[in-house]
Chains A and B, each alone.
Chain A
Amino acid sequence: MLRIENLDVYYGNIHALHNVSLQVKQGEMVAILGANGAGKTTTLAAISGLLKPKSGHIFFEGHEITGVPTHQIVSLGISHVPEGRQIFTSLTVQENIRLGAYQRRDAKLIQDDANWIYSLFPILKDRQNQTAGTLSGGEQQMLAISRAVMSKPRLLLLDEPSMGLAPMIVDLIFDVIRQLRERDITVLLVEQNAYQALTEADRAYVLETGRIKLSGSSSELLNNEEIQKAYLGG
């Protein structure tokens, strides 16, 4: 479904990604693991078109999307929940959700999807007329995911959905992610919490200073000594 080949990305003079190749198949949940600054967020930003790669190719469902503007990538069916949530803090919860469906014109189905979102996160329904900036961190993450799902993506990019959240909220978020997968949404997840990611995902790639260091199925990686040492505190 998603295929990245030999991707090189720079921030100015900083070489952030070196020759990165990875694949996500339809229906999978794939995790990208790595420390701070390893290039996880950069990889997602390149996929959604926020950053232009220096070289390499990104294909989505057979079409090349390298260098395509972000708004067109969204219309192809990729939705990105960015690092740090990035909700519109001065807009209401309802307006944030409405913007998620910005490119859709099927008013009736949009309303159905909004109702479904509100059933997943009832707290957002209670707060729909509140300014999003007044939400707690967990609620903001719920809103960021809801907003991304409203575009009806086939591929969802999730950047550290558990960051800074209480364990109970993290469980709730991953519970919802499982429900999204049941709705045929493929997921590419970036996480620092390697244990959580490996228990949820089918496969994972490990990034280190902009290069892919390791890849494999989650069970292989969970038992890998290097991984246990570096990321699982074993």
Chain B
Amino acid sequence: MDFNYLLNQLVNGLSLGSVYALIAIGYSIVYGILRLINFAHGDILMVGVFAGFGVLAVLHAPFVLAILIAMAIAALFGVVLERVAYRPLRYATEEATMITSLAVSIFIENLGIMTVTAQPRSFKVPAILNVIHNWGSVSFSNMNLLIIAITVILLVVLVFFVTRTDLGIAMRACADNLNAARLMGININVVVSVTFAIGSALAAIAGLMLAGQYGRIDPLMGFIPGLKAFVAAVLGGIGSIGGAALGGFVLGMAEILLVGLLPPAFSPYRDAFVFIILILVLLVRPSGLLGTGERRRS
């Protein structure tokens, strides 16, 4: 093993971490406001990817348009999902809403299998994204660059949104103290819908990046990335946007490095590494890297 090999793995880790970060943000902002762990988040990602796939395969539209439509449809899907499945449980316990989200996840996955079948389909991205660059002996594709660039841009936009706009500040206020936010004249339902829309759109674009990377999609594709992003959100400190992003990058990097540095016989266990990390975080620092510990909300 040499230094260049390590650098290559770092590029891969950064790119995988970007995807986890984008998905984890959705988990985290929804949890921040509703104290809801939305296990159907990965399935929203899948719905977005299939929407994008449809645009590419049927309409032969440009990739950029497919991304935008996938984000829009996932956002709409997330908003409707909240309205139908979660809003009736707004004042239920965290356990009840979490179990509901598992049920919603199973429902969406099976709906996917019934409508588009479980047969994997090949997902092609424009040829330019598969071009490989070689810097010395470090190689990376345009796809890697695109994933990292999109993530950085979206993070900057999101930070601008939550610190500079009324709606974004209202979102943070809702996460801080829901009743006080009502007293400011904030319509909680609007904020919750916007939160679901943002989280779902980010999941959709992350899903398209994953699909582009692996070249295939199916109705269960959201399950594992969704769970891993949940681990990333917990690792960073669930409820915090910065924590979710950091957790995503750390987790992606850890996963790639563990696979890359351990003997090849361990590769099939890469998913297990991620969940070992979750167990370790919960044992050692349950509030996560950037979490401030359990804070009861009124």
Using a CB–CB cutoff of 8 Å, the interface residues on chain A facing chain B are 48-50, 69-71, 74-75, 79-80, 82, 84, 86-91, 95, 98-100, 102-103, 147-148, 151
CB of B83 to closest CB in A, whole Å = 16
Q: Are A100 and B184 in contact (CB under 8 A)?
A: yes
Q: Does B59 contact A (CB under 8 A)?
A: no
Known: A80-B183, A86-B179. A102 touches B172 (CB 8 A): no
Q: Are A102 and B183 in contact (CB under 8 A)?
A: no
Additional 13 contacts, C-beta under 8 A, given A91-B176, A99-B166: A48-B183, A69-B187, A70-B182, A71-B187, A75-B185, A82-B179, A84-B298, A86-B180, A86-B183, A91-B173, A95-B169, A95-B172, A98-B169
Q: Compute how far the CA of A100 lies from the CA of B172 in the bound complex, rounded to whole angstroms.
A: 14
Q: Compute how far the CA of A86 lies from the CA of B174 in the bound complex, rounded to whole angstroms.
A: 12
Q: Compute how far the CA of A49 lies from the CA of B182 in the bound complex, rounded to whole angstroms.
A: 9
Name the residue in A49, A75, A79, A90 with the highest tally of chain B Cβ atoms < 10 Å from its Cβ.
A90
CB of B191 to closest CB in A, whole Å = 10
Q: Are A91 and B185 in contact (CB under 8 A)?
A: no
**Other-chain contact of A71, B175, B182, B298 (Cβ < 8 Å):** B182
Q: Compute how far the CA of A90 lies from the CA of B179 in the bound complex, rounded to whole angstroms.
A: 15
CB of A74 to closest CB in B, whole Å = 3
Q: Does B142 contact A (CB under 8 A)?
A: no
In chain B, what residue has the closest Cβ to A79?
B183
Q: Compute how far the CA of A69 lies from the CA of B172 in the bound complex, rounded to whole angstroms.
A: 20
Q: Are A86 and B177 in contact (CB under 8 A)?
A: yes
How would residues 145 to 187 of chain B score, 1 for a CB under 8 Å from any chain A CB and 0 otherwise?
0000000000000000000001001101101110111111111
Q: Are B187 and A50 in contact (CB under 8 A)?
A: no
Question: Among residues 63 to 86 in chain B, which have CB atoms less than 8 Å away from a CB atom of chain A?
Answer: none
CB of A102 to closest CB in B, whole Å = 5
Query: Top 10 closest A-B pairs, CB basis?
Result: A74-B185, A70-B182, A86-B180, A103-B185, A88-B176, A71-B187, A99-B184, A71-B185, A88-B173, A102-B184
Q: Compute how far the CA of A31 lies from the CA of B188 in the bound complex, rounded to whole angstroms.
A: 30
Chain B residues with Cβ below 8 Å from A151 are 184-185
**Other-chain contact of A74, B166, B169, B179, B183 (Cβ < 8 Å):** B183
Chain A residues with Cβ below 8 Å from B187 are 69, 71
Pairs across A and B, CB under 8 Å, 17 listed: A50-B182, A70-B182, A71-B186, A71-B187, A82-B179, A86-B179, A86-B183, A86-B298, A87-B180, A88-B176, A89-B177, A90-B175, A90-B176, A95-B172, A99-B173, A99-B181, A103-B185
CB of A81 to closest CB in B, whole Å = 8
Residues of B within 8 A of A (CB-CB), count = 19
Q: Are A88 and B182 in contact (CB under 8 A)?
A: no
Q: Compute how far the CA of A227 lies from the CA of B182 in the bound complex, rounded to whole angstroms.
A: 35
In chain A, what residue has the closest Cβ to B187?
A71
How would residues 274 to 298 of chain B score, 1 for a CB under 8 Å from any chain A CB and 0 otherwise?
0000000000000000000000001
Chain B residues with Cβ below 8 Å from A70 are 182-183, 185
Q: Are A50 and B186 in contact (CB under 8 A)?
A: no
Chain B residues with Cβ below 8 Å from A82 are 179-180, 183
Q: Are B183 and A88 in contact (CB under 8 A)?
A: no
**Other-chain contact of A88, B172, B185, B188 (Cβ < 8 Å):** B172
Name the residue in B179, B185, B186, B187 with the highest tally of chain A Cβ atoms < 10 Å from its Cβ.
B185
CB of B172 to closest CB in A, whole Å = 6
Q: Compute how far the CA of A14 lies from the CA of B145 in the bound complex, rounded to whole angstroms.
A: 60
In chain A, what residue has the closest Cβ to B180?
A86
Q: Are A147 and B184 in contact (CB under 8 A)?
A: yes
CB of A91 to closest CB in B, whole Å = 6
Q: Are A98 and B166 in contact (CB under 8 A)?
A: yes
Question: Among residues 28 to 43 in chain B, which have CB atoms less than 8 Å away from a CB atom of chain A?
Answer: none
Q: Compute how far the CA of A75 lies from the CA of B183 in the bound complex, rounded to whole angstroms.
A: 10
Chain B residues with Cβ below 8 Å from A71 are 182, 185-188
Chain A residues with Cβ below 8 Å from B166 are 98-99, 102
Chain A residues with Cβ below 8 Å from B184 are 74, 99-100, 102, 147, 151
Chain A residues with Cβ below 8 Å from B177 are 86-89
Chain A residues with Cβ below 8 Å from B181 are 88, 99
Q: Are B185 and A90 in contact (CB under 8 A)?
A: no
Q: Compute how far the CA of A71 lies from the CA of B188 in the bound complex, rounded to whole angstroms.
A: 8
Q: Compute how far the CA of A86 lies from the CA of B181 in the bound complex, rounded to whole angstroms.
A: 9
Name the residue in A50, A88, A91, A147 with the highest tally of chain B Cβ atoms < 10 Å from its Cβ.
A88
CB of B163 to closest CB in A, whole Å = 8
Q: Compute how far the CA of A50 lies from the CA of B180 in the bound complex, rounded to whole angstroms.
A: 10
